[in-house]
Amino acid sequence: MSAPPPVPLDLPRPSKAPAGALSPALLFALVFVEGYSSLGAEIVALRRLVPHLGSAITVTAPTIGFFLLALALGYQAGGRIERDFLPRVRANFLMAGALIALGMAGPVVDALFEHVRPALFAYLLFVGGVLCPVAWLLGQTVPALTNLLRHERAGARSGAALYWSTLGSFLGSLSLSLGVMQWLGVSAAVLLSAALLLGVVPFIAAGPPRARRTAGVVAGMIAAAAVALNLWPPQQTETAYATYRVEEVELAGMRTPRAFWVNNSLASLLDASEPPRYTRYIERLRNVLLDEMAYRDRRILVLGAGGFTLSHREPLNDYTYVDIDPAIRELAEREFLREPVRGRFVAADARRYIADTAERYDAIVVDAYSALTSVPGHLVTQEFWRGTRQALAPGGVMFVNLILDQRLATPYARNVLGTIQAVYGPCAVELLFRERAEGNVLVQCFAGPEPGDAAPYRDERNPADLDLLRSR
């Protein structure tokens, strides 16, 4: 009896599908949803932290690092699963969906940072108790489901699974940041990321029928709680860039004032007096520009719109506002000013606008914040201040509103003022709230020739009198 002919090496060998395997389309859909929702959870977490901690690299980089570490541990845990792959994935999707829908809801995150002090502890609780568990649970999906894919080689199975997972992450990052958050807000991104996980749970038909029914009921209960928590309570207006709310407050000396909050920080005040009253630094800026400097028919650029109160009912000068959030103007007009903004509005990053504009302004006001004391890092560098200097007309003036300690003694206060004056030379520094530990500090700098190095006066060599004569 002759031996059978050898099987060609380039032909796949028949293989038996693992027990419990689903259709390839459903398996790939599951890893796609895992990639989409895990990346969505990371984006939502970073956005939720902005009102409380800002968007500095010292916040975003550790958050991304913790997320990736938890994801790596999830991959390891998923690789150790030996049986019941689908029930494990179904349970993980339920838990991850609940953590996203409830733990990342705006009221929950706000309450966490309001009641837990210092803010670093609240940050660790949020990242360690919500974001990292989501990453760990969803990280188990690809190695677990790879066991059920009908591919001869392990490399082909893992490659296909990773392709669909990464594709989901790619589409999640784009659709959530550029679409959902922009048009529907952060809460909608939370609900979508959770809904995808909960929505596929009924299709994972594995295990006893009772377990499948229980999983479907639990998914429905989580979904109902998510809708109630994210949409039913009165919510702040949320965009991809900031969280806004307008409310009436009580302040001595002001008549029925209303406050414009941006990322849980007071950005503007406006009352019903005639003429209206504003925040102290806005009133000081208006006094300097309109009364002390007698600006008329001048071009004024404001980087960071706030509540648009610098030009409120001020027809004497031409104002241009630049803010990264395109939604802020409509919101301020409708709920805060309750009248049209005076001036032109440009939705752009402040530094990008400064770099691109060919216009020259008589005054530039830098008032850009992502949280109470957090100026975006790229708006405090020498390169940015050089850009503002180039955008000033000859003889122009720049004002910067900073929140600093009143002794100007912290490293941040010393360094940010030193950076500005390294570009502009000596600038006027005015403290507006001397009774507070931290408060508004107005910095005023003038356009002119590049500053030279100062020569300190000493007892041995003191040309002070000669310099005074030269300065007159």
pLDDT tens for each residue of 346-379: 999 999 999 999 999 999 999 988 665 578 888 9
3-state secondary structure of 347: strand
- Residue 299 is predicted with a pLDDT of 98
Torsion of CA 56, 59, 61, 65, to 10 degrees: -170
List the structure tokens of 265. Answer: 């920080």
Q: Which amino acid is at 195?
A: A
Residue 214: pLDDT band (50, 70, 90) is: confident
- Residue 310 is predicted with a pLDDT of 96
Angle of helix 85-98 relative to helix 132-139, nearest 10 degrees? Answer: 160
Residue 191 contacts by C-beta under 8 Å, 6 or more apart in sequence? 101, 226, 227, 230, 231
- Residue 129 is predicted with a pLDDT of 96
In the predicted model, is pLDDT for residue 278 greater than 80?
A: yes
% of the chain exceeding 90 in pLDDT: 60
In angstroms, the CA 199 to CA 213 distance is 14
Give tens-digit pLDDT for 162-197.
Answer: 999 999 999 999 999 989 988 888 999 999 999 999
- Residue 151 is predicted with a pLDDT of 58
In the predicted model, is pLDDT for residue 12 greater than 60?
A: no
Which helix (H) or strand (E) is 144 found in, with range?
helix 141-145
- Residue 371 is predicted with a pLDDT of 61
Q: Where in the chain is the domain with CATH 1.20.1250?
A: 24-238
**Could you give the C-alpha distances from 121 to 117, 127, 438, in angstroms and in order?**
6, 10, 22
Residue 224 contacts by C-beta under 8 Å, 6 or more apart in sequence? none
Nearest residue to 45 via CA among 137, 133, 147: 133
Give tens-digit pLDDT for 66-121.
Answer: 999 999 999 999 999 988 899 899 999 999 999 999 999 988 998 999 899 898 99
Which helix (H) or strand (E) is 345 found in, with range?
strand 344-347
3-state secondary structure of 401: strand
Mean pLDDT lowest among 48-57, 196-205, 449-458: 449-458
Based on its alpha-carbon atoms, the radius of gyration of the chain, rounded to whole angstroms, reads 29
Which helix (H) or strand (E) is 366 found in, with range?
strand 361-366
- Residue 15 is predicted with a pLDDT of 43
In 236-333, which ranges are continuous DSSP H helix? 280-286, 328-331
Higher pLDDT, 443 or 25: 443
Give tens-digit pLDDT for 16-48.
Answer: 444 445 688 888 999 999 999 999 999 999 999
* C-beta neighbour count of 86 within 10 angstroms: 21
How large is the average pLDDT for residues 203-227?
81
In angstroms, the CA 382 to CA 378 distance is 9
pTM of the predicted model as reported, rounded to 2 decimal places:
0.79
The highest-level CATH class for domain 254-446 is: alpha beta
Half-sphere exposure of 118 (CA within 13 A, CB side): 2
- Residue 472 is predicted with a pLDDT of 65
Each residue of 399-422: b (16+ CB within 10 Å) or e? Answer: bbbbbbbbeeeeeebeebbeebbe
In the predicted model, is pLDDT for residue 296 greater than 80?
A: yes
24-238 placed in CATH 1.20.1250: yes
How large is the average pLDDT for residues 198-203?
89
Give tens-digit pLDDT for 109-154.
Answer: 989 998 998 989 999 999 999 999 999 999 999 999 988 876 557 7
Residue 454: pLDDT band (50, 70, 90) is: confident
Residue 434: pLDDT band (50, 70, 90) is: confident
In 232-380, which ranges are continuous DSSP H helix? 280-286, 328-331, 350-356
Higher pLDDT, 472 or 57: 57
Q: Where in the chain is the domain with CATH 3.40.50.150?
A: 254-446
